[in-house]
Chain A
Amino acid sequence: MTTQLQVPSPPPVGAVQEPTSRLARLATWQKLLMYGLAFLALLSLVRVVSGAAQLTSSGTAEAALIAAIPIGLAGLAGLWSERAGVVNIGLEGMMILGTFGAGWIGWQYGPWPGVVAAIGFGVFGGLIHAVATVTFGVDHIVSGVAINILGLGITQYLAGTFLTGTPGGGSKQSPPIANIGSVSVPGLPNALESIEDRQWFFVSDLAGIVRGLTTSVNYLTIIAIVLVIATFFVLWRTPFGLRLRSCGEAPYAAESLGVNVYLYKYVAVLISGALSGLGGAYLAIVAASNYRDGQTAGRGFIGLAAMIFGNWRPGGLAAGAGLFGYTDGLQLRDNTAVHALLLLAALLCLVGLVVLLIRRRWFGALLTAIFGAGALIWYLGTDTLPPQLTSATPYVTTLVVLALASQRLRMPKADGLIYRRGAGH
């Protein structure tokens, strides 16, 4: 499947080779920056044409960040676990445990003890998963499902016991948790606000997004972003990370080289639990300000999807969570802006069409042209989208991008396999 799709890329013809090689000479971050700015220019164009200011407003950027981070942390949790070869669909349950820990301790002793408690509750969920899957060799899926059921049941029981009769709380929700505090880049917000208000092409959009991402940024947000970057360095740039990943790719080979596979799997799953718990804490403390029964609403599973979307890599999952968070924040803030996304889709199809025509991929070009025309006609023919579709925007967008990108995904080789020491021969 994978190889078949890579074959058709034709042997480079002289004219085509020149720009590709020039592009290839750029460093990855330069390429990403270029793509990012080009995308922003498109978005800005859409904003100017449609008049949907919320597309690139600072408020939307902030909402996107808040919506993306619980999902990103859940995805990161899944990444740690699956890189060590343990499939973790118990993320949702561990996240629920985290929301309760944050709510229960957080409303009484303040947000930071709440964060610690959430991590503790998450680690507890991770420990159950590790004992079941690593020590006893239970099927990873079965254990994960059990944790999802257990996480919900335990928290409902504990909430009924410890939150009933609290001021403003009850058996289904905790009283509000105090604000955890935030920081702004000094001087920047005011300057950017005046630029954002001018509604200039590109400049105001950039200012709006930067302002949203740099104004009163929550401490937990910063921690979450640092954790994504730290995960990359720990897993891909340290001997510890190499050994951990080897447990997910070829545990018996790792074992033959003296790696204690059980230990590494335990560490990975416990970190996974801690990150899920932190995701729950973020949801309860920053996104919502209290614990509420059922508030995770499947975000753990979406985190898992973001991880697969990101090809089991931290950068990719951050992009996946960001895409989901952006579309979710946008649809919650403004219905008309979502309608403008149709125009964006049409423009992206146009870009794709040009690229495909240059590469002489006629069939792909035809499909892209049809989709692009469809999106454009839809955009021009309507003023709003039906609310059902607006609410589904994050899911539809993620699904479409996933469908286009999923052909090159590769999961860790021994992911989900049960490892028994010494059973490799």
Chain B
Amino acid sequence: MRNALKIATALAAGALVLAGCGSSSTPATPGGSENPSETSSAPTSDLKVGLAYDIGGRGDQSFNDAAARGLDKAKDEFGVQAQELEAQNGETDAQKEERLRTLADGGYNPIVAIGFAYSGPVGKVAKEYPDVNFAIVDDAANDLPNLANLVFAENEGSFLVGVIAAEASKSGNVGFIGGVNVPLIQKFQAGFDAGAKAQNSSIKLQDKYLTEPPDFGGFNDPAKGKTTAKGMYDKGTDVVFAAAGGSGSGVFEAAKAAGAWAIGVDSDQYLTAAPAVKDVILTSMIKKVDVAVYDFIKSVVDGSPLTGTTTFDLKNDGVGYSTSNPAVEPYTAKADEFAQKIISGEITVPTTP
């Protein structure tokens, strides 16, 4: 009896892992099935693009969706074929390597890995397949001739929304909610804090990361986002920047309940959020992952694949903030002023908080 209980506990953990394997291929949409007819008039390329998503995958309304948009644009314009696979929470590097090898063995070239979690795996697999062009978004740890590192200056975009937050805050108290406490998300916080302080040196800053690695559930837990945001609003914050992927929807709910502002991330969330909550999204820190993915595929189509590290920052319009919510209008002048200073090099935005 006691054995059964022990087995139960051991298998409970195993179940999560198995759940990951079991379904990793289920939701992967075979390339083109969503827009089957649009390629008819477009030029057809014999390129087969492999895309490996981070946790969340296509449909996450955030980071991965931006990558998917870039891929869709490339599909429309160049007629490339694509295979999309996605990661699951709690999987190991070995599973990610296997995913990349599956794509490479299937004749997919180029292969794009979305997310810093692929850093180790892509470095390893790219060496094994020197004839295949790889790209990784959000990581620059590897330096290989057949690998393009597509990275963003999230700190610069976050700086601008920090300026807007500080300006919009009546209480002089702004908050930051990060999905998972990893260096990439810390970059968002560093920029946001610096921007808020640049605008108002006496501003009070609150910050919280929903989970700690290796638990990446913080990107997918709106309940935690809502509780944390409510805690911040209770303590006097009136603007919260959520760099927390899918947990952001909980932050928006809390903002709506508190009658306060929230700031979205990665995509323009004022446009993608539900009508009931969109009005609380003052602006969003935009990170043009779609442009990065599209540019990379285009470079392969053109016959001169990108390699080395390409940084998408304010200067080349790779990051920024959204102005689709009219409420942000009064604050854009100041933000643009700071943007110019960052572009000219007058201000250097820190990358760690």
Contact = CB atoms under 8 A, between A and B. Distances in A.
A218 interface: no
Q: Dominant SS at the A interface? A: helix
B56 to A, nearest CB: 6
B333 interface: no
Contacts of A4: none
A289 interface: yes
A391 B249 contact: no
B347 interface: no
Interface string B213-225: 0010100111111
B115 interface: no
A149 B4 contact: no
A416 B4 contact: yes
B4 A415 contact: yes
Interface string B102-114: 0000000000000
Given A333-B228, A391-B209, A411-B1, A292 B59 contact: no
A391 B253 CA distance: 22
B223 A288 contact: yes
B116 to A, nearest CB: 19
A346 interface: no
Contact of A295 (B19, B59, B222, B228): B222
Contacts of B220: 292-295, 297
Interface stretch (B134-142, B193-201, B268-276, B324-332): B268-276
B274 A172 contact: no
A156 B7 CA distance: 27
Given A170-B65, A172-B246, A391-B212, A145 B18 contact: yes
Interface in B16-60: 16, 18-19, 22-23, 26-27, 29, 55-60
A87 B8 contact: yes
A59 B59 contact: no
Contact of B231 (A63, A149, A164, A283): A63
A148 interface: yes
B4 A87 contact: yes
B59 A153 contact: no
Contacts of A392: 212
A289 B253 contact: yes
Given A168-B275, A288-B250, A149 B221 contact: no
A67 B227 CA distance: 9
B275 A172 contact: no
B7 A141 contact: yes
Contact of A332 (B11, B23, B29, B228): B228
Contact of A167 (B4, B7, B250, B274): B274
B181 interface: yes
Contact of A173 (B14, B27, B209, B246): B246
Which of B55, B61, B223 has the most A CB atoms < 10 Å from its CB?
B223
Nearest to B274: A168
Nearest to A179: B257
Given A173-B61, A283-B223, A288-B249, A89 B230 contact: no
B99 to A, nearest CB: 17
Contacts of A332: 208, 210, 224, 227-228, 231
Contacts of A416: 1, 4-5, 8
B277 interface: yes
A248 B117 CA distance: 46
B225 to A, nearest CB: 8
A175 interface: yes
B217 A294 contact: yes
A144 B57 CA distance: 26
B230 to A, nearest CB: 7
Interface string B292-335: 00000000000000000000000000000000000000000000
B11 A89 contact: yes
Interface string B78-105: 0000000000010000000000000000
A301 B12 contact: yes
B3 to A, nearest CB: 9
A199 to B, nearest CB: 15
Contact of B23 (A63, A152, A411): A152
A289 B221 contact: no
Contacts of B27: 156-157, 160, 171
A287 B61 contact: no
Nearest to B275: A167
Given A176-B276, A295-B223, A304 B12 contact: yes
B346 interface: no
A164 B59 contact: yes
Contact of B26 (A89, A153, A283): A153
B211 interface: yes
B15 interface: yes
A66 interface: yes
Interface string A272-293: 0000000000010001111011
B64 to A, nearest CB: 9
B226 interface: yes
A140 B1 CA distance: 12
A67 B249 CA distance: 17
A334 interface: yes
A316 interface: no
B15 A92 contact: yes
Interface in B155-211: 181, 208-211
Nearest to B10: A141
A14 interface: no
Nearest to B272: A168
Nearest to B2: A411
Contact of B56 (A145, A172, A334): A172
Contacts of B225: 288
A175 B231 CA distance: 24
25 contacts: A63-B231, A67-B227, A87-B5, A89-B11, A89-B15, A92-B15, A144-B15, A145-B11, A148-B19, A152-B19, A152-B22, A153-B22, A156-B27, A157-B26, A157-B27, A168-B274, A172-B60, A176-B249, A287-B227, A288-B225, A294-B89, A294-B217, A294-B246, A332-B231, A333-B227
Given A144-B15, A304-B12, 4 more contacts: A148-B18, A332-B231, A333-B230, A333-B234
Interface of A: 54, 57, 59, 63, 66-67, 70, 87, 89, 92, 140-141, 144-145, 148-149, 152-153, 156-157, 160, 164, 167-173, 175-176, 283, 287-290, 292-295, 297-298, 301, 304, 308, 329, 332-335, 387-388, 391-392, 411, 413, 415-417
Give me the 9 closest cross-chain CB pairs, A-B, nearest first: A168-B274, A171-B59, A333-B231, A287-B223, A288-B222, A416-B4, A170-B59, A297-B217, A288-B223
